[in-house]
Amino acid sequence: MFYHPEESLQRSELDQLQTERLKAVVENARKSPFYAERLKGFDTREISTPADIVKLPFTTKDDLRSQYPYGLLTRPLDEFVRLHASSGTTGSPTAIFYTQKDIDTWADLMARSMHTAGIRKSDVLQNMSGYGLFTGGLGIHNGSERLGCLTIPAGAGNTRRQIKLIRDFNVTVLHIIPSFALYFAQKVREEGFDPKDMPWRIALIGAEPHTEETRQRIEELMHIKAYNSYGLSEMNGPGVAFECTEQSGMHVWEDAYIPEIIDPVTGEHVAEGEIGELVMTTLRRDGMPIIRYRTRDLTRFIPGECACGRKHRRIDRIAGRADDMLIVKGVNIYPMQIEQVLMSMPEVGQNYLIELFHEGFMDQIRIKVEIKDQFFVEDMRALQNLQKSIASRLCSEILVTPRVELVMHDSIPKAEGKAVRVVDLRDKE
């Protein structure tokens, strides 16, 4: 049933494995100039459970930048066979280096992830993401070959050729960027094909944060099962956390990583189930271990156990970036939490606006919500009930009671380009 025996480890076994590996990671990391300095004075014997990881310092993106390119390497440069680097010709880039062993580990984790989503050796996978420095291309490719799938390195773009390849080779699995998937579904229809008749059955959608609604829309439009994946080049690339066939959160491979979720301001762990910043530690990277990396990605641990039987903890889909966090009345609020509540209500239209202001010395939050025409009725009582209902649902999600204002469809000004969802008036008063 499982691809690797590590998938069936019980919690106590995972804890023990993580403790051993974390100790080894600390010792290995010390061979790099950066961690030799950063971990000076830390005694590895202080680690006796995975929870002791909090005794170790964080590593940030700025650390990676300041150590560019070689500061985190634990081995001589000629032992590395691959690097992926952040794009951009200006600014401070980051680079991640892999030994052959690291490439093999990554391919194994990726193959396991795909197996977890129900993909098997007999599948034909079309990799529709770009290759090159972006880890999504070679990462998925190597994992797919490792699993034994017939792998088609189609790359990005060229919709008509993609469709031809899918039909000619009975492609059963697509790796596709979520936003491209929505476009592609429409193109397939325009080319005269019914998605129901296409040979595909599974789409792997990652690389871009997206909502549950987007996933459901992809599944309906394409007549496919879509599985969410999470990865970042600092932790190899794709294959860090992946949905199983239960589709209820992404299992973080805890034999290879220790995940934590912290309050991005205090750095303390949040309560179980609360949203915060994901912090990740590599347990199986040889040439460039990274300890307590602050991903800036927002998510939460999903409480309870998964029906699939795996004990590896699950994270929820990425709910935004830590940099988007608002602090209102001392409570951390993420705009994505508000959007999720609003978009789950059938009366609510496409647009909303969050305004923060001061009333006396108190923070206040006001949310303007566009209501669909058919619900914008003259019955004042109905509207008041809707308003209360929205406020109450929001309060139970963000733990602060917002003032909710219902407004007509299309009455909130639209920005050109990226939508403006938050206006903070507190600094301007």
Contacts with a second copy by CB under 8 A lie at: 68-69, 77-78, 80-85, 87-89, 93, 95, 97, 100, 103, 121-122, 130-133, 137-138, 141, 144-145, 148-155, 158, 160-161, 164-165, 168-169
| CB 277, CB 262: distance < 8 Å | yes
Looking at the Cβ atoms of 10 and 90, the one nearer to a second copy is: 90
Looking at the Cβ atoms of 138 and 291, the one nearer to a second copy is: 138
Looking at the Cβ atoms of 89 and 374, the one nearer to a second copy is: 89
Minimum Å distance from CB 61 to a second copy? Answer: 17
Minimum Å distance from CB 128 to a second copy? Answer: 10
Looking at the Cβ atoms of 132 and 303, the one nearer to a second copy is: 132
Instruction: For the chain, give the secondary structure using H, E and C.
Output: CCCCHHHHCCHHHHHHHHHHHHHHHHHHHCCCHHHHHHCCCCCHHHCCCHHHHHHCCCECHHHHHHCCCCCCCCCCHHHEEEEEECCCCCCCCCEEEEEHHHHHHHHHHHHHHHHHCCCCCCCEEEECCCCCCCHHHHHHHHHHHHHCCEEECCCCCCHHHHHHHHHHCCCCEEECCHHHHHHHHHHHHHCCCCHHHCCCCEEEECCCCCCHHHHHHHHHHHCCEEEEEEEEHHHCEEEEEEECCCCCCEEECCCCEEEEEECCCCCCECCCCCCEEEEEEECCCCCCCCCCEEEEEEECECCCCCCCCCCCCEECCCCCEHHHCEEECCEEECHHHHHHHHHCCCCEEEEEEEEEEEECCEEEEEEEEEECHHHCCCCHHHHHHHHHHHHHHHHHHHCCCCEEEEEECCCCCCCCCCCCCEEECHHHC
Looking at the Cβ atoms of 132 and 273, the one nearer to a second copy is: 132
Pairwise CA distance, residues 341 & 397, whole Å: 8
Looking at the Cβ atoms of 88 and 413, the one nearer to a second copy is: 88
Give, in order, the Cα–Cα distances in Å from 84 to each of 133, 137, 139, 142, 418. 5, 11, 11, 14, 28
Minimum Å distance from CB 69 to a second copy? Answer: 6
Looking at the Cβ atoms of 35 and 80, the one nearer to a second copy is: 80
Looking at the Cβ atoms of 128 and 354, the one nearer to a second copy is: 128
| CB 252, CB 241: distance < 8 Å | yes
Minimum Å distance from CB 123 to a second copy? Answer: 9
| CB 17, CB 50: distance < 8 Å | no
Neighbouring C-beta atoms of residue 334, cutoff 10 Å: 21
Minimum Å distance from CB 125 to a second copy? Answer: 10
Looking at the Cβ atoms of 106 and 352, the one nearer to a second copy is: 106
Minimum Å distance from CB 121 to a second copy? Answer: 6
Looking at the Cβ atoms of 104 and 219, the one nearer to a second copy is: 104
Minimum Å distance from CB 81 to a second copy? Answer: 4
- Phi, psi angles (nearest 5°) of residue 36: -55, -45
Minimum Å distance from CB 107 to a second copy? Answer: 12
Minimum Å distance from CB 145 to a second copy? Answer: 4
Minimum Å distance from CB 148 to a second copy? Answer: 6
Looking at the Cβ atoms of 33 and 69, the one nearer to a second copy is: 69
Minimum Å distance from CB 210 to a second copy? Answer: 24
